[in-house]
Structure 1
Amino acid sequence: MSQPPKRTPAAARPQATRTPPRPATPRPAANAAKGAASARARLAAEQARQERRRRQRMLVIIPLAVVLVAVAALVVVRLTGLGSSTSPTASGVTDSGVIAGVTSVPATVLDQVGTGTMKTPPKAGGGAALTADGKPKILYVGAEYCPYCAAERWPMVVALSRFGTFTGLGQTASSSTDVYPSTPTLTFHGSSYTSKTIAFTGVEAESNERSGSGYATLDTPTAEDEQTFSTLSGGSYPFVDIAGTYLISGASYDPQVLAGKTHAQVAAALSDPSSDIAKAVDGTANAITAAICASTDNKPSNVCTSAGVLAAAKTLS
């Protein structure tokens, strides 16, 4: 059995010659290409992840932006008139609550108000008797831009609603650039009126929408109504001829009382006899009613003999 070779003690072991360290060997071209491909793959993967995150953010942001735009649009609409204290200036269908408020003022409220703060009652005058279909006729000629017309329509509708029924009344406001700007009001344009006692014609000759240097034309009066208007009005709005017996020219009360109010606020105030609006509008309505009753032989009697109308009748000249 052979013996293992004897180990030379470390001290006696010959010293090996040390080779200086070699510099790093450059990576062969193949390895470099492989590394570059790997880097591109990592970059592509990172870009894909970023794109996925971007799409996920867009899925959240886009619907949120749509909601914000819709909310902003509603705010703008509110601020520009449809629900704010500034009334819209374009003609439109009147809110049913406004219609109910202005056409159904309680008789007890009208009686309480009496003449109220009405400043100018209808004046006796006119030409030949004004009739239509064998009934006394009330002719109104005005314009939507006119602030005095805006004020006068409220009591006219209150008064006329005691004799008949309106259909299709519109909601509008006077010009925003005239005195008493953007006064809330109604419009007779496109409306109709039925009554067993009287006839009514409402002519809105011009709108509140600018056209050139003036306002767009709306209603064209008949030749007969144009003759009445041109002969008796002096060419000014509003003009009201009550059966050829009484005339109204201009607003019967101060339009300032309506400033800053919405249509709904005006309509609601008409049933509060302590409100400044009721005192002005309902007081004027009683005077218009009294003038109409003078042409209907005091019919209907429950209207024409009411306390408010009898009080207003004393102001007619």
Structure 2
Amino acid sequence: MASRRDKQAAVSARQRIAEQQRAEQVRRKRTRMIMVGVAVVVALAMIIGAMLLANAARQREAAGEGSDAYVSGLSQVSAPQLDAVGVGAARDAATPVEGGEPVMVDGKPRVLYVGTEYCPYCGMERWALTIALSRFGTFDGLEASRTPANESSIPTVSYEHATFASDLIVFDGFETADAEGRPLQTLSADDDATLRQFNPGGSVPWTYWGTSHQLGASYDGGFLADANPDEVLARLGDANSSEAQGILGAANVHTARICALTGNQPGEVCDAPGVRAAAEFVG
């Protein structure tokens, strides 16, 4: 028969086991509560973050900044839209290069653009230039941008991270300073020498085709001041609007200059009525 001491030891062992089991249950319960609490905090953080992003988007639109949809929309302007405008309100701002020849890179003529992200006229010019270039190839990495609101802010795109792919031309766009005027991209020694040769003051925007170069914007984009870019893009569908007359007219002029480099290829672009009118306009 078990002694009294043995019985007491057995009882103590069972008590310790019971206490350990209770402690384990408490630990598991506490762990579950912590995990639930963490999940709730994460969920709340996600909800608050989404609300803040949505509110920021609403504030941008209320301030005239719009969404980023217009960036992709620049590559989707239709040929009928461009043809309906022709030259529009564009101006021939280019200067011929005496004895100039296209600059060939990998067997293709090159277009060079130099601007800054703080320059309002650069912001205007990138609308027309981007639409024109999109008729010959595809951009990747275009980003929505806006010039600083000194007197007025211009919605635009930035070429800083953009690349351009085309079977017909090479395009290099440089943003040499950011919206605060701080140095951004650096030209190669050859490009810097070309810029200084034809544009000693280094003013921007500056566009170079080899056969000609242009300083300044190719249209008056005053309507872009503090504008909502989504609304500007929508008004390009009205050939009589100031937006269409300026931006699409200038896009046709840029297209005509590029067609002169490519031997009027592709035909469906270079033979379009709006481009032919622009070609006659620039001579």
TM-score of Structure 1 vs Structure 2, range by shorter chain: 0.7 to 0.9
Q: 1:173–1:185: 8 Å Cα contact kept in structure 2?
A: yes
Q: 2:117–2:158: 8 Å Cα contact kept in structure 1?
A: yes
| Aligned equivalent of 2:56, options 77, 85, 97 | 77
With 191-200 and 264-273 compared, the bigger mean Cα shift is at 264-273
* Cα deviation digits, residues 91-137 of structure 1 (max 9, x gap): xxx82x31332111110111110011113343322745312111100
Q: 1:121–1:288: 8 Å Cα contact kept in structure 2?
A: no
State the match for 2:3 in structure 1: none
Q: 1:150–1:185: 8 Å Cα contact kept in structure 2?
A: yes
| Aligned equivalent of 2:145, options 164, 168, 172 | 172
Q: 1:139–1:202: 8 Å Cα contact kept in structure 2?
A: yes
How much does 1:161 deviate? Answer: 0.3
Structure index of larger Rg: 1
* Cα deviation digits, residues 289-317 of structure 1 (max 9, x gap): 00111111111111111100010111214
1:129 aligns with 2:102: yes
How much does 1:80 deviate? Answer: 5.4
Task: Give the whole-Å Cα distance in 2 for the aligned partners of 1:84 and 1:225.
Answer: 41
Task: Give the whole-Å Cα distance in 2 for the aligned partners of 1:84 and 1:200.
Answer: 35
Q: 2:126–2:156: 8 Å Cα contact kept in structure 1?
A: yes
Q: 2:116–2:204: 8 Å Cα contact kept in structure 1?
A: yes
Q: 1:253–1:284: 8 Å Cα contact kept in structure 2?
A: yes
Task: Give the whole-Å Cα distance in 2 for the aligned partners of 1:125 and 1:265.
Answer: 38
State the match for 1:287 in structure 2: 253
Task: State the superposition RMSD in angstroms.
Answer: 2.6
Structure showing the higher helix proportion among its residues: 2
Task: Give the whole-Å Cα distance in 2 for the aligned partners of 1:273 and 1:109.
Answer: 7
In structure 2, the CA distance between the partners of 1:216 and 1:107, relative to structure 1 (3 Å rule), is: same
Q: 2:123–2:154: 8 Å Cα contact kept in structure 1?
A: yes
State the match for 1:38 in structure 2: none
In structure 2, the CA distance between the partners of 1:169 and 1:139, relative to structure 1 (3 Å rule), is: same
| Aligned equivalent of 1:314, options 254, 257, 280 | 280
Q: 1:121–1:316: 8 Å Cα contact kept in structure 2?
A: no
Q: TM-score w.r.t. structure 2 length?
A: 0.76
How much does 1:164 deviate? Answer: 0.3
Q: TM-score w.r.t. structure 1 length?
A: 0.69
Task: Give the whole-Å Cα distance in 2 for the aligned partners of 1:112 and 1:166.
Answer: 25
| Aligned equivalent of 2:208, options 241, 245, 267 | 241
1:275 aligns with 2:241: yes
Structure 1: where are the runs of 5+ without partners? 1-65, 89-93, 210-214
* Cα deviation digits, residues 37-85 of structure 1 (max 9, x gap): xxxxxxxxxxxxxxxxxxxxxxxxxxxxx9xx9899669735753x224
Task: Give the whole-Å Cα distance in 2 for the aligned partners of 1:240 and 1:159.
Answer: 13
Aligned-pair identity in percent equals: 37
Q: Matched residue of 2:125: which SS?
A: helix
1:264 alignment partner AA = D
How much does 1:274 deviate? Answer: 2.7
**Equivalent residue pairs, number:** 238
Task: Give the whole-Å Cα distance in 1 for the aligned partners of 2:110 and 2:50.
Answer: 49
